[in-house]
């Protein structure tokens, strides 16, 4: 797996078929990347392998056209099968070291960080980015009942050297706070997937992030 696309964590879309208001993921992703989404993770917890691969292939065609990396949630086998740019791994997924061995040094591998203890462990790994989860409580991660908050973002980004995105109920009204707390970008699910116009939602979110980074820098 050879990385040909630059990792830009500014605005990271995590797909959710159930939150897409009956619209196809392909349509949502196309609108989102045209609006400025810089990274896309295909998350399909309920699909069998064959339809997952078919979905990934169709999404990858869209993203390749726009030069945006495709990451696969959890499934290293699917990432390999479709030639995705990498994977995102949670604490119950394949260990980072094994995924790196399988995918190679050029693959993008991101890791979820849900506690300070995890942050200490992840800080010693050569992951390409981390996702701090959840910044605020979110229905898309029902198993995570305690939000890390902005203090958690600040503390974890102080521990981990990797680029960081915050995820968890981040909207236009609080995205700047997450950047000021130390994140390099934001990851969004419902804020784009459930938006009436995913492209406009992406444009607004990206503008907020870029303005906050400019002021912080």
Active-site positions? 43, 112, 141
Give the Cα separation of 7 and 181 in Å (integer): 21
What DSSP assignment string belongs to 19-48? GSTT--HHHHHHHHHHHT--EEEE--TT--
Omega into 134 within 30° of 0, i.e. cis?
Answer: yes
Query: Using an 8 Å Cβ cutoff, are 95 and 122 in contact?
Result: no
Give the Cα separation of 21 and 193 in Å (integer): 8
Give the Cα separation of 187 and 154 in Å (integer): 16
111 strand-pairing partners = 89, 130
Query: Using an 8 Å Cβ cutoff, are 66 and 52 in contact?
Result: no
- Record the tokens describing residue 66, joined without a space: 């726009």
As to burial, measured by CB atoms within 10 angstroms (0-12 exposed, 13-18 middle, 19+ buried), residue 143 is exposed
């Amino acid at each position: 797996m050879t990385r040909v696309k630059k990792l830009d964590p500014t605005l990271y879309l995590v797909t959710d078929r159930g939150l897409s208001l009956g619209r196809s993921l392909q349509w949502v992703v196309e609108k989102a990347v045209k609006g400025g989404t810089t990274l896309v993770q295909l998350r399909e917890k309920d699909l069998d392998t064959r339809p997952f691969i078919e979905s990934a292939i169709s999404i990858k065609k869209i993203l390749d056209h726009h030069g945006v990396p495709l990451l696969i949630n959890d499934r290293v086998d699917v990432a390999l099968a479709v030639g995705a740019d990498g994977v995102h791994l949670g604490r119950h997924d394949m260990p980072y070291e094994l995924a790196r061995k399988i995918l190679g040094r050029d693959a993008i591998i991101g890791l979820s960080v849900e506690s300070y203890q995890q942050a200490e462990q992840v800080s010693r790994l050569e992951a390409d980015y981390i996702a701090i989860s959840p910044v605020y409580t979110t229905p898309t991660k029902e198993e995570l009942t305690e939000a890390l908050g902005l203090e958690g973002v600040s503390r974890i980004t102080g521990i981990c050297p990797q680029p960081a995105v915050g995820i968890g109920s981040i909207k236009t009204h609080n995205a700047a706070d997450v950047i000021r707390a130390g994140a390099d970008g934001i990851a969004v699910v419902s804020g784009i997937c459930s938006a009436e116009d995913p492209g406009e939602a992406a444009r607004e979110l990206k503008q907020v992030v870029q303005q906050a980074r400019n002021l912080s820098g």
